[in-house]
Structure 1
């Protein structure tokens, strides 16, 4: 596969977007308090990367999005006392609980659109996403965050007048 047209590392706790709650007056709000800071972190990292590309135009064609989300391990995965900081043999290798991968993608895609990486998140036709624990494989970080890469799937569209 060719080189991605956009590649960033985002630092911060990935936040899912999608589940809503109602307040007493009936207004809907995001159930996760992490979604707003996460979207801001993705948008900020994207804007920082785009600041170095004066010719950047938001993508208007089909794209492939790859994201590896790095999540912290729960404290219950580690021993106690003199074994504090030592991973238990029974600790799972992969994060299978919440947040859901699709909801993490939703907040990330919306932030990429808000930053001007994409004209619309509907342009994402191919997606590869993974949730991993800190330092457990390729593209995982030493702290919570994500590695985000975008590839063009077609030749860029001509500018519309």
Structure 2
């Protein structure tokens, strides 16, 4: 497998983008307050990574995007009293509730575009995304965030395997 064109580790609570609400004046706004901080965190991590690459230009060709989102476990997954901090046996292994993976990808792709990693999010032709809890598998972090990899797909013989 070839090396990714860019690999980032982003810290912060991943925020979904896509659902909108209307205020009293009828204007649309994001329903999740986590969208802006998440997009800012992704953009900042990308800009930091690209800061040392003066030759970097926004990717115009097809790319594969791989993201592993690390989400915090809800408090009700843990015991109380003397079992505080101990994961309950009934706690699910995977985060199957909100936020939706596709909405997390949407906010992340838009932030990568805003940072100049991608010319547009339409260049993403292949995606792999996973939601995991903190420290529960490969590429999960100690705190909420994400590991993001971007591969250029210009040479089909060197495409990463899914």
In structure 2, the residue matched to 1:100 is 100
How many Å apart are 1:83 and its aligned residue?
A: 0.5
Q: Secondary structure of the equivalent of 2:55?
A: coil
How many Å apart are 1:42 and its aligned residue?
A: 0.2
Cα distance in 2 for partners of 1:107, 1:94 equals 21
**Aligned 1:39-54 pairs, distance under 5 A:** 39-54=39-54
Q: Secondary structure of the equivalent of 1:64?
A: strand
**Aligned 1:1-161 pairs, distance under 5 A:** 1-154=1-154
**After TM superposition, where is structure 1 displaced by more than 6 Å over at least 4 residues in a row?**
none
Ranges in structure 1 where 5+ consecutive residues have no aligned partner: 156-161
Cα distance in 2 for partners of 1:52, 1:133 equals 32
TM-score normalised over the length of structure 2: 0.95
Q: Secondary structure of the equivalent of 1:116?
A: coil
TM-score normalised over the length of structure 1: 0.95
Cα distance in 2 for partners of 1:27, 1:55 equals 40
How many Å apart are 1:54 and its aligned residue?
A: 1.2
CA offsets 1:114-151 (integer angstroms, 9 cap, x no match): 00000000000000000000000000000000000000
